[in-house]
């Protein structure tokens, strides 16, 4: 399309095509000055007027002449129809057309005189689809004959006005106005007649006058030349901004950009921008037409009919130039606010660093301005935030037996790396690399097929992110396998937090006790009614591999879980859109396969917690033995206090330890030198056949006096340790010599065991 525009512009500059013309047919012909062509045999000039003079038959006829006028344009003409028009006998005057042939598919605008409403109206034509954009008054041409003058105007911004003068009295009436920039260029002007056999010679046209400027195609935009810098998807409740959505654009280039014909779109709708010169370093607000005036006090505003509605939770926004080139894209989520209060409404999302064109979610946050945002102005959180960190390899997923989808945690450079940068173990050659659905993903084509039951390792070397940072050394490898179908019982409930701390959230942990890689795509978490699952909530609609003996925890808010349980930073915690309700006293949880089979379920009760716990809030129930019956109350224990009362995404603190027949406590090392030795502390380690025991651990001197309490009523898992730094209870350093570790454990049956271990504090050198 751009090439067509350039050719037409060349013709204008060389004088070969008219941008404007006048024709009153006083020369007695229509074959020159200007040249009309089409079904010319059906037309004649009669008494200095263009007349349809076709055979008596039901048919159509048309003539067109080159015309580029479209900007600041005025079209005027006179029409006489010696009959009362109808849906079978009418005329279209094409003000602009992309094609010479007015009877076929084209892009343009025309005035319709006639039809069943006896009106004069303005239409837009796209291909063969015709849409009325100005609806003229019904009955305007309800007469026989019809004599009428028509004037149409269009501004550079795409504002159309339609005027009529019925009877050619010299007094025009405004039929209506509209802004429409669907088609920005013109190549031809012309007349089109639809007629029956009795009306084949009763159409007359005269006094054509067309003035205006041709459409000059703008230069194509460049990627990130104009960028989104502020979004307002949820304006309620009002903090200080108008209660209306907007987005903000910023020109980060060194030249002014006319936005005429550019488009702002989301997944559901698209709005076309009018002419507006966005200067370098300046902002402009895009707002719905109904709200544009409310934002005028903040800065430049473009009112957009058909402004795409911004979804509160997430949306995909695009900015496209007139040639459909992607200039900027934002796939935002309400998690980008990083603030639960602000994501509830009334606050904007702001871009932090306008020069960091590679960053995505990490470069956005909630506005800090007290009114809730900074439309049309520099952002309140603007800062220099360059990307200095290399990418991480997140996963490799077999799309087919010989195709891998490889995912990274950020956009990669847009030049594909060679296949030599990727390797598989066990070895299968990689024969090609391509980008996936985004620059965060690559597709590897393998020379052979992956085999089920085999653990594969993908290693990536010397690939770079969009900012040029090399992949991080510790995140170059991932393990994966070919997914296999799951059967009920392969994946089991492993840990459950159903009574979280204040402001906390629930989580459900599962364990793959099979030897298969299992894809959790379209799996669900629900409750259980006794006969089947209820209230199912989808875990993910994307691919998610759970490896053999793998553990995953699912929650609606991983950030809160990691804040409440710091050890969870090392676990696999997956964010899910929703979880079913888990009452604090008793309830149920089920894990459901993509085939709607219950893989496992657990009916829990708060009494399954340890009797020694005074406060059960924030304490999870852990499964002891993954192979034993799920709904045996004796197979569940409260998570140990020594691990923070929960282990989401990690091995359970109460997991049974194979091969441990009786309790064992030992000191490692027995001799240490506090403060400046190596080692300078000692660990008192323990292993038990089951968790849930309570412990008192203290240090005694040679006279049996207590000098340090390491644990008092601590709930233990199956294994762990306490640390002694060679200090007293008051924090002072002990003298060199022999000391005793007193380790006492007891359970809810009343059984007590005591372990005594020697520990030596060495003298300094």
SS3 category, 320: strand
Q: Would you say 363 and 353 are in contact if contact means Cβ atoms under 8 Å apart? A: yes
485 pLDDT band (50/70/90 cuts)?
very high
14 pLDDT band (50/70/90 cuts)?
very low
The least confident of 78-87, 240-249, 732-741 is: 732-741
pLDDT at residue 658, rounded to an integer = 56
Give 159: exposed, middle or buried? Use CB within 10 Å, 0-12, 13-18, 19+.
Answer: middle
Q: Residue 63 corresponds to which tokens in the numbers above?
A: 């003539």
Q: Residue 274 corresponds to which tokens in the numbers above?
A: 């009018």
**Which of the two residues, 641 and 245, has the higher pLDDT score?**
245
Q: How far is CA 241 from the centre of its chain?
A: 25
pLDDT digits (tens, 9 = 90+) for 336-372: 999 989 999 999 999 999 999 998 999 999 999 999 9
CA distance 29 to 44: 7
pLDDT at residue 663, rounded to an integer = 66
**Rg of the chain taking only CA atoms, in angstroms:** 38
- Residue spans of beta strands (DSSP E) within 375-483: 393-400, 403-408, 422-425, 430-435, 441-446, 456-460, 477-480
The secondary structure of residue 474, as a DSSP letter, is: G
Mean pLDDT, range 213-239, rounded to an integer: 94
SS3 category, 734: coil
SS3 category, 191: strand
SS3 category, 757: strand
The secondary structure of residue 463, as a DSSP letter, is: -
pLDDT at residue 676, rounded to an integer = 64
Q: Would you say 419 and 432 are in contact if contact means Cβ atoms under 8 Å apart? A: yes
Cα-Cα-Cα-Cα torsion 592, 595, 596, 599, nearest 10 degrees, comes to -40
CA–CA distances in Å: residue 147 to residues 79, 95, 114, 205, 259: 6, 19, 12, 10, 41
662 pLDDT band (50/70/90 cuts)?
low
pLDDT at residue 765, rounded to an integer = 60
CA distance 284 to 246: 10
- H helices present in 526-593, as ranges: 558-564
- Mean confidence (pLDDT) of the chain: 92
pLDDT digits (tens, 9 = 90+) for 291-339: 999 999 999 999 999 999 999 999 999 999 989 999 999 999 998 999 9
CA distance 483 to 395: 14
Report all structural domains of the chain as residue ranges with CATH numbers, in order of start.
2-214 (2.60.120.200), 226-366 (2.60.40.1260), 393-472 (2.60.40.1220), 491-643 (2.60.40.1260), 664-761 (2.60.40.2550)
Q: Would you say 81 and 203 are in contact if contact means Cβ atoms under 8 Å apart? A: yes
**Which of the two residues, 217 and 557, has the higher pLDDT score?**
557
Res. 671: pLDDT tops 60: yes
The three-point CA angle 33-35-38 to 5° equals 160
Mean pLDDT, range 546-556, rounded to an integer: 97
- Residue spans of beta strands (DSSP E) within 485-585: 491-497, 507-512, 518-519, 524-528, 533-538, 545-546, 551-555, 573-575
Closest CA to 85 of 49, 123, 47, 112: 112
pLDDT digits (tens, 9 = 90+) for 369-427: 999 999 999 999 999 989 899 999 999 999 999 999 999 999 999 899 999 999 999 99
Q: Would you say 264 and 310 are in contact if contact means Cβ atoms under 8 Å apart? A: no
**Which of the two residues, 662 and 300, has the higher pLDDT score?**
300
pLDDT at residue 18, rounded to an integer = 47
Q: Would you say 641 and 626 are in contact if contact means Cβ atoms under 8 Å apart? A: no
Mean pLDDT, range 705-732, rounded to an integer: 90
Res. 657: pLDDT tops 70: no
pLDDT at residue 296, rounded to an integer = 95
Closest CA to 325 of 218, 247, 214: 218
Beta strands at 737-746 and 326-333: parallel, antiparallel or unpaired: unpaired
643 pLDDT band (50/70/90 cuts)?
confident
pLDDT at residue 19, rounded to an integer = 60
pLDDT at residue 539, rounded to an integer = 97
**Which of the two residues, 1 and 720, has the higher pLDDT score?**
720
Closest CA to 156 of 278, 70, 42: 70
């Amino acid at each position: 399309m751009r090439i067509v525009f350039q050719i037409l512009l060349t013709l204008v500059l060389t004088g070969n095509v008219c941008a404007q013309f006048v024709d009153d047919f006083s020369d007695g012909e229509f074959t020159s000055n200007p040249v009309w062509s089409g079904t010319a045999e059906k037309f004649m000039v009669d008494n200095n007027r263009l007349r349809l003079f076709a055979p008596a038959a039901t048919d159509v006829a048309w003539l067109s002449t080159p015309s580029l006028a479209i900007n600041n344009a005025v079209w005027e003409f006179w029409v006489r129809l010696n009959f009362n028009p109808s849906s079978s006998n009418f005329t279209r005057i094409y003000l602009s057309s992309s094609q010479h042939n007015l009877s076929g598919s084209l892009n343009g605008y025309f005035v319709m005189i006639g039809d069943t409403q006896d009106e004069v109206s303005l239409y837009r034509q796209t291909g063969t689809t015709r849409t009325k954009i100005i609806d003229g008054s019904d009955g305007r041409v309800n007469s026989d004959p019809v004599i009428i003058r028509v004037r149409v105007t269009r501004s550079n911004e795409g504002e159309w006005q339609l005027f009529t003068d019925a009877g050619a009295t010299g007094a025009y009436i405004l039929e209506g106005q509209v802004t429409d920039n669907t088609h920005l260029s013109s190549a031809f002007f012309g007349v089109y007649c639809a007629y029956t056999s009795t009306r084949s010679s009763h159409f007359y046209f005269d006094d054509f006058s067309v003035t205006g400027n041709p459409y000059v195609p703008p230069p194509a935009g460049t990627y990130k030349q104009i960028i989104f810098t502020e979004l307002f998807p949820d304006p309620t409740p009002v903090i200080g901004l108008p209660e209306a959505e907007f987005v903000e654009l910023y020109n980060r280039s060194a030249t002014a950009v006319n936005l005429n014909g550019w488009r702002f779109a989301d997944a559901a709708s698209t709005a076309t921008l009018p002419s507006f010169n966005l200067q370098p370093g300046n902002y402009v607000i895009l707002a719905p037409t109904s709200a544009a005036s409310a934002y005028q006090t903040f800065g430049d505003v473009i009112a957009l009919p058909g402004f795409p509605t911004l979804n509160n939770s997430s949306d995909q926004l695009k900015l496209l130039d007139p040639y459909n080139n992607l200039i900027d894209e934002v796939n935002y989520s309400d998690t980008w606010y990083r603030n639960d209060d602000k994501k509830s409404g009334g606050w904007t999302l702001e871009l932090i660093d306008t020069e960091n064109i590679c960053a995505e979610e990490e470069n956005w946050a909630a506005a800090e301005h007290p009114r809730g945002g900074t439309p049309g102005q520099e952002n309140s959180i603007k800062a220099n935030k360059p990307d200095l960190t290399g990418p991480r390899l997140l996963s490799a997923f077999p799309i087919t037996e010989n195709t891998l989808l490889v995912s990274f945690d950020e956009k990669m450079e847009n030049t594909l790396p060679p296949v030599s940068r990727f390797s598989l173990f066990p070895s299968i050659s990689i024969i090609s690399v391509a980008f996936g659905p985004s620059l965060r993903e690559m597709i590897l084509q393998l020379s052979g097929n992956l085999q089920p039951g085999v653990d594969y390792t993908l290693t990536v070397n010397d690939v770079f992110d969009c900012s040029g940072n090399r992949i991080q050394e510790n995140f170059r490898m991932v393990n994966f396998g070919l997914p296999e179908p799951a059967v009920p019982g392969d994946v089991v409930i492993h840990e459950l937090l159903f009574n979280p701390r204040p402001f906390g959230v629930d989580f459900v942990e599962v364990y793959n006790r099979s030897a298969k890689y299992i894809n959790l795509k379209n799996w669900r978490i629900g409750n259980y009614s006794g006969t089947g699952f209820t209230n199912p909530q989808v875990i993910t609609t994307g691919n998610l591999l759970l490896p053999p003996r793998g553990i995953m925890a699912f929650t609606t808010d991983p950030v809160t879980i990691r804040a409440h349980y710091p050890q969870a930073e090392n676990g696999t915690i997956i964010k899910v859109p929703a979880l079913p309700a888990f009452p604090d006293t008793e309830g149920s949880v089920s894990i459901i396969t993509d085939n709607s089979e219950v893989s496992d379920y657990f009916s829990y009760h708060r009494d399954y917690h340890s009797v020694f716990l005074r406060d059960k809030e924030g304490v999870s129930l852990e499964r002891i033995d993954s192979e034993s019956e799920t709904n045996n109350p004796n197979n569940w224990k409260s998570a140990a206090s020594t691990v923070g009362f929960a282990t989401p995404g990690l091995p359970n603190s109460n997991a049974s330890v194979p091969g441990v027949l009786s309790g064992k406590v030992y000191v490692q090392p027995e001799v240490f030198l506090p403060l400046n030795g190596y080692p300078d502390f000692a660990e008192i380690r323990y292993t038990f056949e089951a968790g849930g025991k309570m412990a008192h651990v203290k240090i005694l001197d040679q006279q049996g006096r207590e000098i340090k309490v390491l644990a008092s009523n601590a709930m233990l898992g199956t294994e762990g340790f306490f640390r002694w730094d060679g200090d007293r209870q008051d924090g002072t350093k002990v003298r060199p010599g022999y000391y005793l570790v007193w380790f006492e454990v007891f359970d809810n049956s009343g059984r007590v065991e005591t372990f005594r271990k020697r520990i030596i504090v060495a003298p300094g050198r």
